[in-house]
């Protein structure tokens, strides 16, 4: 697929979460009876290290209808954040309200530009997938699997904002 130019700027290579980090986070979270315990532990870490993101997740979860969509959003949000945290550690800066606003505005502008100038089928999520292929592969796989059971589109939108904000929060290596 040809992806036309939109409002999303290319992300530097030093911000890409490696595939092995995403796979390690997914393995660590697991899918057994302890998944909820592990996710709750990650949420407590998120609250301590990224309070604005914790507030965002809480707000989005309270706005969602249905347990399936909430569970999907909770899992993916925390898995994505954990992957960035593991990949970049001290280089991952704190995301604030202005950073989230900028990510939302950029995605909205990108969607508008794409609807007017790009070929059909060129979406912001495709651009984000070019930046963060391993992260978006996880997100897309889980969203596609859950699409029949829940309204997964709002989950995808929240995750795009998260990924754009976290990608921009990664500092260049020294």
Q: What is the 3-state secondary structure (H, E, C) of 113-150?
A: HHHHHCCCCCCHHHHHHHHCHHHHHHHHHHHHHHCCCC
Percent of the chain with pLDDT over 70: 90
The rounded distance, in Å, linking the Cα atoms of 75 and 157 is 15
The rounded distance, in Å, linking the Cα atoms of 13 and 132 is 9
Closest to 133 in 3D by CA, of 25, 29, 11, 50: 11
- State residue 2's pLDDT score: 40
Closest to 73 in 3D by CA, of 167, 134, 161, 164: 161
- State residue 160's pLDDT score: 95
- State residue 19's pLDDT score: 97
Residues of the chain with pLDDT under 70: 1-7, 115, 117-122, 148-151
CA distances from 80 to 14, 88, 137, 151, 173 (A): 17, 12, 11, 19, 21
């Amino acid at each position: 697929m040809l992806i036309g130019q939109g409002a999303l700027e290319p992300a530097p290579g030093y911000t890409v979460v490696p595939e092995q980090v995403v796979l390690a986070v997914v393995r660590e979270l697991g899918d057994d009876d302890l998944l909820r315990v592990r996710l709750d532990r990650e949420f407590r870490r998120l609250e301590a290290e990224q309070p604005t993101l914790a507030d965002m997740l809480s707000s989005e979860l309270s706005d969602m209808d249905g347990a399936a969509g909430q569970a999907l959003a909770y899992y993916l949000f925390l898995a994505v954040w954990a992957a960035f945290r593991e990949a970049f550690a001290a280089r991952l800066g704190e995301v604030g309200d202005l950073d989230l606003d900028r990510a939302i505005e950029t995605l909205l502008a990108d969607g508008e530009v794409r609807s007017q100038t790009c070929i059909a089928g060129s979406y912001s999520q495709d651009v984000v997938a070019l930046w963060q292929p391993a992260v978006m592969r996880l997100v897309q796989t889980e969203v596609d699997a859950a699409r029949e059971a829940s309204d997964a589109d709002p989950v995808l939108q929240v995750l795009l904002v998260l990924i754009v904000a976290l990608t921009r929060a990664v500092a260049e290596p020294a």
